[in-house]
């Protein structure tokens, strides 16, 4: 180019320059798109990592403080080897004026009338017409309790066993044995809604035939009782995540259970089970508040705590022998066959489900824990009640 003269490319050179510019523009656009994609991928990875870390951090301290296996340490430096928690500085709580005084009690919570009117308070004096009702939490020692009171103590029981061998077609109430020399059962099923309706029609409670009623359905079972024939609740509790894991291993092989499904055969890991349709969430809170399908919150947890506090004598799977002693003293049951009870418990109880470890800390454990946070809080509360209620049986 000469001074003062602007270079003018010919048409062919102009086309080359135009193609070069368009190519550069395309490369710039592609680079921008690729950079945007890379940014989105990195952002998603960071968000996922933060969410995962938040999930872990949120629960690790919670688990370590409240739910790690160990011993309860009390203010008097005595340790209860049966308890699964280690609560530093905790002192045994006392009962003032024969009323339980657990911490975090919400005095504004009202127990539904169907429970409040027919379930006796644990602090009330027992009446001869009162009937013990064992609230059966699955995989929490319920079968052992049945064997202890049926085999060792000769009590007549009302449970699901009474309708075996065709006794669901019986036209009248009766006490039967499903095996020679076995436990005596009333010929009703108190573990299903339909069975409870039939038991009510047979006037099970008024008949006085059953010494103990076993059921997971306390709201439906309340229909059997009245202020003149009250229920007295007692139960064995277990760490909710340990219970859920035990239930998983049990259900995979329990082909005889009505809840068995062949779909379970395809679930091989605890993590797969934890996200499946078969995994429970907050079973205890749901059954106590009769919220089976709806979302449960701390409102339902507060009600569940109050029902247990006022209406239920609690025991622990980790302290079965002491729990059974409390039940016997509270209900006035004879303890002549203590040796039978001790021997049964030494064998590990009944319907024991043995599996490898509890897989604590794994993905399945964490998911189950996350799904059962309300039950975990309720279990922590039960541990406090267990310390308090020892004064009830002195």
Residue 331 CB contacts under 8 Å (≥ 6 apart), including other chains: 126, 132, 232, 234
Among the ranges given (13-22, 223-232, 252-261, 297-306), the one the predictor scored with the smallest mean pLDDT: 13-22
Q: Is the pLDDT of residue 282 over 90?
A: yes
- pLDDT tens across 226-268, in order? 999 999 999 999 999 999 999 888 887 766 666 667 777 788 8
3-state helix, strand, coil in the chain (%, to 5): 50, 10, 40
- Residue-level pLDDT at 95: 33
Residues 294-325 as b/e (b if ≥16 CB within 10 A, e otherwise) read: eebeeebbbbbbbbbbbbbbbbbbbbbeebbb
Averaged pLDDT of the chain: 80
Burial class of residue 115 in the structure, from the number of CB atoms within 10 Å of its CB (0-12 exposed, 13-18 middle, 19+ buried)? buried
**98-115: average pLDDT:** 71
Q: Is the pLDDT of residue 96 over 50?
A: no
Inter-CA distances, 62 with 92, 150, 377, Å: 22, 39, 10
pLDDT tens for each residue of 203-228: 999 999 999 999 999 999 999 999 99
Instruction: Report the range of poorest mean pLDDT among 32-36, 91-95, 358-362.
Output: 91-95
- For residue 145 the two structure tokens come to 């309790």
């Amino acid at each position: 180019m000469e001074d003062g003269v602007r270079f003018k490319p010919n048409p062919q050179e102009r086309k080359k320059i135009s193609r070069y510019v368009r190519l550069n523009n395309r490369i710039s656009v592609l680079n921008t798109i690729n950079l945007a994609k890379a940014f989105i991928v990195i952002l998603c990875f960071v968000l996922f990592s933060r969410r995962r870390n938040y999930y872990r951090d949120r629960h690790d301290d919670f688990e370590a403080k409240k739910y790690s296996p160990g011993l309860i340490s009390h203010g008097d430096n005595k340790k209860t080897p049966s308890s699964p928690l280690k609560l530093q500085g905790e002192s045994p709580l006392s009962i003032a004026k024969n009323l339980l005084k657990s911490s975090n009690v919400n005095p504004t919570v009202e127990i539904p009338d169907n429970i409040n009117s027919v379930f006796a308070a644990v602090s009330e004096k027992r009446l001869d017409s009162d009937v013990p009702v064992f609230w059966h939490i699955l995989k929490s020692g319920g079968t052992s309790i049945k064997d202890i009171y049926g085999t060792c103590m000769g009590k007549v029981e009302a449970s699901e066993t009474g309708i075996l061998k065709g006794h669901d077609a019986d036209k009248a109430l009766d006490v039967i044995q499903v095996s020679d020399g076995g436990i005596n059962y009333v010929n009703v099923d108190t573990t299903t809604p339909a069975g409870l309706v039939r038991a009510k029609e047979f006037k099970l409670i008024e008949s006085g035939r059953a010494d103990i009623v076993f059921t997971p359905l306390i709201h439906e079972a309340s229909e059997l009782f009245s202020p003149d024939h009250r229920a007295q609740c007692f139960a064995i509790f277990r760490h909710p995540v340990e219970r859920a894991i035990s239930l998983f291993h049990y259900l995979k092989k329990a082909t005889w259970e009505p809840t068995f499904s062949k779909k379970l055969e395809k679930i091989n890991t605890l993590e797969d089970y934890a996200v499946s349709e078969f995994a429970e969430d907050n079973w205890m809170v749901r059954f106590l508040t009769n919220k089976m399908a709806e979302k449960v919150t701390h409102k339902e947890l507060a009600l569940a705590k109050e029902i247990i506090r006022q209406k239920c004598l609690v025991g622990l799977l980790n302290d079965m022998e002491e729990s059974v002693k409390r039940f016997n003293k509270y209900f006035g049951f004879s303890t002549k066959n203590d040796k039978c009870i001790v021997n049964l418990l030494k064998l590990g109880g009944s319907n024991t489900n043995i599996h490898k470890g509890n897989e604590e800390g794994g993905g399945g454990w964490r998911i189950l824990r996350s799904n059962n946070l309300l039950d975990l809080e309720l279990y922590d509360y039960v541990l406090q009640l267990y310390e308090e209620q020892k004064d009830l049986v002195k």
